[in-house]
Amino acid sequence: MTTDPRLYLDQELSSAARLPLGREESHYLINVMRRSAGDTVRLFNGRDGEWRAEIADANKKHAMLDLAEQTRQQAGVPDLDLLFAPVKRAKTDLIVEKATELGVKRIRPVTTTRTQSERINEDRFRSIAREAAEQTERLDLPEIVPLAKLDRVLDSWDETRTLIYCDEAGDDGARPWGGDDGRAAAMRDMLGGPGPAAILIGPEGGFSPQERDRLRQLDFVRPVSLGPRILRAETAAIAALTLWQSACGDWS
C-alpha cells in the first residue's frame, strides 16, 4: 500500500486554495517522490490538522497544489521535553529523530561539565525533526530550543514541570560509574502524576558529581535509574522516552 507523500508546509491550510511550493518541496515531491499532476499529497502545518491536496502543476522548481479537504483534526503531543547533552554528531542526529517519533514537544540540548561538543546546528536539528515528523504522521513539529548551559536552565526552571533526571551513577566515587550503592529508583516506580514533564540525559561521560549533587537536591527533580547497565546516551534517551510515553503519555 503506497501512502501518499506527506509534507510539512508552513502555510495557511484552509478551504480550497492553490498553494505554491518552494524549490525544496517541489524537488522532493516531483524528483524524489516522482509524483506528477493529479497525484495526491497530504499536508500539515502544526495548526490546521492534515489536508489532502492534488498536484495542479508538477513543475520541478515551482510545483502548485490544489487544497482539497481536511482529513485529520489537529492534535498535539503530550507536554514532554527532552533535555540532552549533545554527543557525537550521528548519535545526536539519532536522538533528534527518535525524540520526534517518540512524541516530544520540545528538544532542548544542554551543555554539561563533560559535554564533548559545545555547539549544535539548529538548522540540521530542524530538518531532521521535520523529516521525522512527516514520516511518523505527527501533526506538528517539535520545538528546537537553542543550546543552553544546564546550570542556567536549572536556575530558571518552571517548577510546575517535573524533571526526570536519568542518573547513571551510584554513590561510590572510587568505583566505575559510582558502583551500585545509592543508585536511583527504577524509572517505572517514579512515574505517574499528571502535569508537564521533562527527561534529562547526560553526555558520554555522564554527569559530574557536582551536577549530580545539585540535581538531587532540587525539589522538582526525580532521579531515576534505567537499570543496572550503562546505556549509551542515545539508548538512554530512547529508553526513557519510551517508558514515559507508555506510562504517562499518549500510548495508552
- Told to check if 231 binds ligand SAH by CB under 6 A, we report yes
Residue whose C-alpha cell reads 523529516 in the numeric block: 131
- Told to check if 99 binds ligand SAH by CB under 6 A, we report no
Nearer to ligand SAH, 76 or 227 (CB): 227
- Told to check if 180 binds ligand SAH by CB under 6 A, we report no
Looking at residues 120 to 179 of the shown chain, list those that interact with ligand SAH (rule: CB under 6 A).
Answer: 166-168
124's CB contacts (< 8 A; 6+ apart) are: 93
Nearer to ligand SAH, 19 or 120 (CB): 120
- Identify each DSSP E strand in 60-194 by its residue range: 64-72, 80-84, 106-111, 143-144, 148-149, 162-166, 185-186
Sole binder of ligand SAH in the list 30, 80, 191, 233 (CB under 6 A): 233
Sole binder of ligand SAH in the list 190, 226, 238, 243 (CB under 6 A): 226
The one-character DSSP state at 162 is E
Looking at residues 190 to 209 of the shown chain, list those that interact with ligand SAH (rule: CB under 6 A).
Answer: 201-202, 204, 206-207
- What is the nearest approach in angstroms of ligand SAH to the Cβ of residue 223? 8
Segment contacting ligand SAH by CB under 6 A, of 19-27, 41-49, 55-63, 227-235: 227-235
Nearer to ligand SAH, 67 or 87 (CB): 87
- What is the nearest approach in angstroms of ligand SAH to the Cβ of residue 229? 6
Sole binder of ligand SAH in the list 17, 152, 227, 246 (CB under 6 A): 227
Number of separate helices (H) and strands (E) present in the chain: 6, 13
CB atoms inside a 10 Å sphere around CB 69: 9
Nearer to ligand SAH, 21 or 184 (CB): 184
- What's the Rg (C-alpha) of the chain? 21
- CB environment 3-27: b (16+ within 10 A), e (fewer): eebbbbbeeebeeeeebebeeebbe
- What is the nearest approach in angstroms of ligand SAH to the Cβ of residue 42? 36
Using CA atoms, how far residue 11 sits from 24, 43, 98, 194, 225, in Å, is: 15, 10, 26, 33, 43
